[in-house]
Amino acid sequence: METTENKKEFSSIGLRIFIGTALIFAIQIGCQKLLVLLKPEWAENYDIMFAAGMVPLYVIGYPIALLLMRKKDSPVIEKHSMKPWQILLAFMSSYGLMIVGNLTGLVVTTGIGLIKGAPVQNVLLNAVTTGNIWISAIYIVLLAPFFEELLFRKLICDRAIKYGQGTAVIVSGLIFGLFHLNFNQFFYAFLLGCFLAYIYVRTGNVKYCIAIHMMVNFVGSLLGGLLLNNVDLQTPMGAMIFGLYGLCIYAIAIAGIILLLVNKSKITLKMGEIIIEKGQRFKTVILNPGMLLYIILCLAVMIVQALM
């Protein structure tokens, strides 16, 4: 009976995020289609179409998803503060994990590209290299980290924390990774999501997750996009500038991975008030109707996107 109730709890999480995700992307696509019907000439304007997808996402889509995931009787996570230098070190570790995940995604998408005979489209790269970089910055650096951390870290972890910090971390990271709906971003989003979830369950303060997420998106996406848009890589100076940028980000990533390895013994996760038996954890957390529905939806979209 207890296992059945626990399964229902995780199924509820999966079903709520499934509905929220479906609504988010239905609203995005619907607004873009409506805009094209009203103004067909705008279909060729990347900035307008990008805004048509992003504005309803953050004005309508995310608020609905936040309401769906909210739970009044969630346990209160004990709060702890982080010093500025700890936030900086956490950013470096986050960036290291992101690079590892990004390289993994690159290997996977390269393999898929070889099989289908054409490269897999990189959605994020298109966003930062096409259209106005400053418009993209508003969404990528400011809005996305704020809303994503509230939904995927705070609200999901708040629901899952009673089953232990480890369970909350994995559920948060998996749901966050799948939400990106493409193989380019899944692996690094999963690792980054797990690490940010760890920070949240250990500090009880989502503001640190938001700050680190903003820093990661700024260095990894906006700064790189600015260089790609404004530096001529065909010139020696342009190649040198971009090369220095590459060296810097990989230096940050390597330092971050070293920090994680050196401090791995200090990374601990507390048990929850509800203990799921060892042989029942995967069945309880993942093999339930709501979570399976969400996973199947996301994987189906990811496969279709990769094969397009």
Question: DSSP characters for 26-79?
Answer: HHHHHHHHHHHHH-GGGGG-HHHHHHHHHHHIIIIIHHHHHHHH--TTPPPPPP
Neighbours of 261 (CB within 10 A): 11
**Kind and range of the H or E run holding 16:** helix 2-38
> What is the dihedral angle through the alpha carbons of 246, 153, 285, 179, rounded to the nearest 10 degrees?
-60
Is 193's pLDDT higher than 60? yes
Q: What are phi and psi of 271, to 5 degrees?
A: -70, 160
pTM exceeds 0.85, yes or no:
yes
Count Cβ atoms below 10 Å from residue 174 Cβ, excluding itself: 24
pLDDT at 214: 95
Question: Rounded distance, CA 15 to CA 189, Å?
Answer: 21
Residue-wise pLDDT tens digits, 136-192: 788 889 999 999 999 999 999 999 999 999 999 999 999 999 999 899 899 999 999
Return d(Cα 101, Cα 55) in angstroms, integer.
29
Provide the pLDDT confidence category of residue 229 given band limits of 50, 70 and 90: confident
The mean pLDDT of 233-246, rounded to a whole number, is 81
> Three-state DSSP class for 263?
coil
